Amino acid sequence: MIHWMHHLQNHLSSIRQRASSPRPVLVLFDIDGTILDTRHTLVQLLQAYDAHTGSRYFDGLKCDAIDFADTELLDRLGELGAPPSAHSEVADFLACASRDWDRWIHACEPYAGAMEVIAQVQRAGVVVGLNTARPEAVRRSTLAALNRAGAALNVGFSDALLFMHSGQPGLAPTVAKQQAVLRARAAGYRVAAMVDNEPENLEAIRGIDPEREILLLHADTLYQSRQKDPSIPLVAGSSYQVEHLVDRPRLESGTQWFWGGVESETCLRGFLESPAHQTELDVWPSAGSGKLMVGREGPAEATPLSLQDTLLCLVAMERGARLRLPGSAEVLERTLELMDMLCLGATPGFHLSIPAPADGDAAAIQSLVADSNLGIDLQADPWVTDLARSCNQAQARVAQWQGLGIQGFSFQWRDDPTLPRAIHCLEALGAPQHIEGITNLEAALRTVLFAPASASVHFATPALRPLADDLGTSQPAAGRMRA
């Protein structure tokens, strides 16, 4: 089955090929339930009720527990933990709290991949607008929240292309959506597609599009209406994936790319035969020989690679490496001693990555980091949510580690909107960022949009191997993590 985003890519390509006028092409997105997952707001509202009343009905409530449209919330409170005796009070609290849009409007999170898809559409030269049933009264806060959510990906929404419900009494959302399309056309745009989670809104759009130029994309998330006319083709999908919007996946020159996944001699040979300049190696101490080894601990090969032999090979081939160490002061000290013995202690092509130290090793590791001339980054996965939530609050922690000699911060790839925001935060603080553990094409293409200072990709994976061809032309010179 063809992915719904591939349908969008094909439709946009077709329009560009047969365009007979210079009118800009526009794709319209609904907001709630389409770009934004409103369940985050519902969870926060319900937990605010708990905080207000001292109850614990919604303690531990997660978004995944809400599998219905927000309009059904009051009828489904029992499923979420509220006893029947509390339903009326919860309803009154929600009615009061929901009037304060500005307080709760920022609680929504984008669906995974939604902002990346919009970023890719905009990068392709297509204009993106918003067609929402939200009232005009919340225009300013809506625009601010969405631009904040998209800032990490350089996604921007304009006030002129934010179409909202006028507030006219009795005006159905379906009619408001139609009016938005007509206004966009009157402003000179060629509306190519509409993305909405409510089928009835998409059916209404077909009513003003007799030439069937508008592709109707149904965000199959949570919705209340049902399609009434099966003859109207709705292209449905529930996941946003950038890879289906790209004709020829390519890397970009702004990021330093590492060849990840080197776990054996065969993998190392694949890296050395590639145009990549630097690899990423996991270091671990052998319980048998006591030597430092590379690859994954307990590899399938009978003879794992020693760190010393691997470093000598890389130096001979004029390649560099990022060494991922376990959280042990002893392993860090031995690695630094080996690097000094091989005269690599200040070589720009080599640097280390360490996890946040446990309390028992913290002082020793901090001392070793402070005395080292190597570039060292900190594996900061435990802090990704804090960095994404408030850059100002994270600033002191980042500055503390930088003061101890940490030059950058790294994260495992995650399919989560917090990752690009954490990258954006560190960039704003002047701290280099690295993403590791990229094992599929979708993750690689989203990383291109995040534009971190550096990233490690398993280029030997068949789906990613074609991207390695770009490394000879798009790769910055080997060096330490760049800000």
DSSP letters, 127-181, are EEEEEEEEEGGGHHHHHHHHHHHHGGGT----GGGEEEE---TT--HHHHHHHHH
Question: Model's pTM, two decimal places?
Answer: 0.88
- Give dist(CA 106, CA 104) in Å, integer: 5
In the DSSP assignment, the letter for residue 23 is: P
Continuous segment of H or E residues that includes residue 408: strand 408-412
State which residues of the chain have pLDDT below 50. 299, 473-483
Amino acid 375: pLDDT: 87
Note every long-range contact of 47-54, with CB atoms under 8 Å and residues 24 or more positions apart, other chains counting.
48/93, 48/97, 49/90, 49/93, 49/94, 49/97, 52/93, 53/89, 53/93
**pLDDT attached to residue 359:** 64
Distance CA 61, CA 95 (A): 20
Element (H, E) at 281: strand 278-285
pLDDT of res. 369: 85
Inter-axis angle of helices 359-371 and 329-341, to 10 degrees?
20
Spatial contact of 202 and 228, defined as CB atoms under 8 Å apart: no
pLDDT value for 299: 47
Phi, psi of 408 (to 5 degrees): -165, 180
What is the predicted pLDDT for the residue at 476? 46
Handedness of CA 459, 461, 466, 467 (dihedral sign): negative
Closest CA to 356 of 329, 337, 322: 329
Q: What's the pLDDT at 70? A: 85
Sequence-separated (6 or more) residues with CB below 8 Å from residue 124: 12, 245
Structure token digits, residue 451: 């534009």
* C-alpha separations of 369 from 72, 127, 194, 390, 478 in Å: 55, 47, 53, 27, 21
Q: Which residues make Cβ contacts (< 8 Å) with residue 140, sequence separation at least 6?
A: none
| CA separation for the pair 303, 326 (Å, rounded) | 21
